[in-house]
Amino acid sequence: MSLQLAEVGLRLGAGDTAVTAIAEVDLAVAPGETVAVVGPSGSGKSSLLAVAGALRRPTSGSVRINGLVTSALSDRALTAVRRDHVGYVFQQANLFAALTVREQLLIPRHVSGRIGAEDRTRADELLAAVGLEHRAGHRPHQLSGGERQRAALARALMARPAVLLVDEPTSALDRAGSVRIAELIAARTRAAGCATLIVTHDHDILGYADRVHELRDGRLT
């Protein structure tokens, strides 16, 4: 399993205002598998993604990312896990306004070393895979919402993450754009062999997941 949560709980806040954001969550996602978690606002979806992606340490239970138990790691090691093993696609694509689509994929590589010919080839292959080869030189403001999300997906896959975490990918998209990104996420997950977890309240895209769980008051069903 590339992603494994065992009896994971997260409490947020302190004292009288402390809230149990998620409780006793057991979830395993295999390589190549897309799992969707659906739940209403406040059910704990963002909290689930935060612990699954090592952005937060769980209050109880254990999270395993590509075999590494996050609670056993130093802050420095956790940062490396996030960088090397986890890809994120956020609700708003979070692209850099000044960079072209192709640069969005390559600049993070530049930060962790030199950009090689292999990186450029991979960036072009990923852009083709998400149908953006003709937009490689465009900047985010020249793209549609769906194109931005597809660029964010390609960027997230650049580092060959073991785990891909996707937060409400369709919130800014129409039905056709939503279906397209959902199809692409599932297809690229199979091709890349990563373990993908999508949180969403969009029931239209659930059919593209291999498995669907419901989150209610922090508990998974």
Ligand X SMILES: Nc1ncnc2c1ncn2[C@@H]1O[C@H](COP(=O)(O)OP(=O)(O)OP(=O)(O)O)[C@@H](O)[C@H]1O
List residues binding ligand X (CB under 6 A).
12-13, 19, 21, 39, 41-47
Surface-to-core class of residue 220, CB atoms within 10 Å of its CB (0-12 exposed, 13-18 middle, 19+ buried): buried
- Nearer to ligand X by C-beta: 38 or 126? 38
Smallest separation, CB 124 to ligand X (Å): 35
What single string gives the DSSP state of each residue in 120-133? Answer: HHHHHHHHHHTT-G
- Nearer to ligand X by C-beta: 39 or 61? 39
- Nearer to ligand X by C-beta: 50 or 194? 50
Smallest separation, CB 141 to ligand X (Å): 26
User: Which residue, 55, 121, 49, is CA-closest to 83?
Assistant: 55
Token code pair at residue 49 = 């993604």
- Nearer to ligand X by C-beta: 21 or 143? 21
Smallest separation, CB 53 to ligand X (Å): 13
How far is residue 143 CA from its own chain's centroid?
21
Are the beta carbons of 194 and 161 closer than 8 angstroms?
Answer: yes
Smallest separation, CB 155 to ligand X (Å): 22
Smallest separation, CB 217 to ligand X (Å): 8
For the chain, helix (H) and strand (E) counts, in that order, are 6, 10
Residue 128 CA: distances (Å) to CA of 40, 184, 197 = 34, 12, 23
- Nearer to ligand X by C-beta: 15 or 113? 15
Token code pair at residue 160 = 């060959």
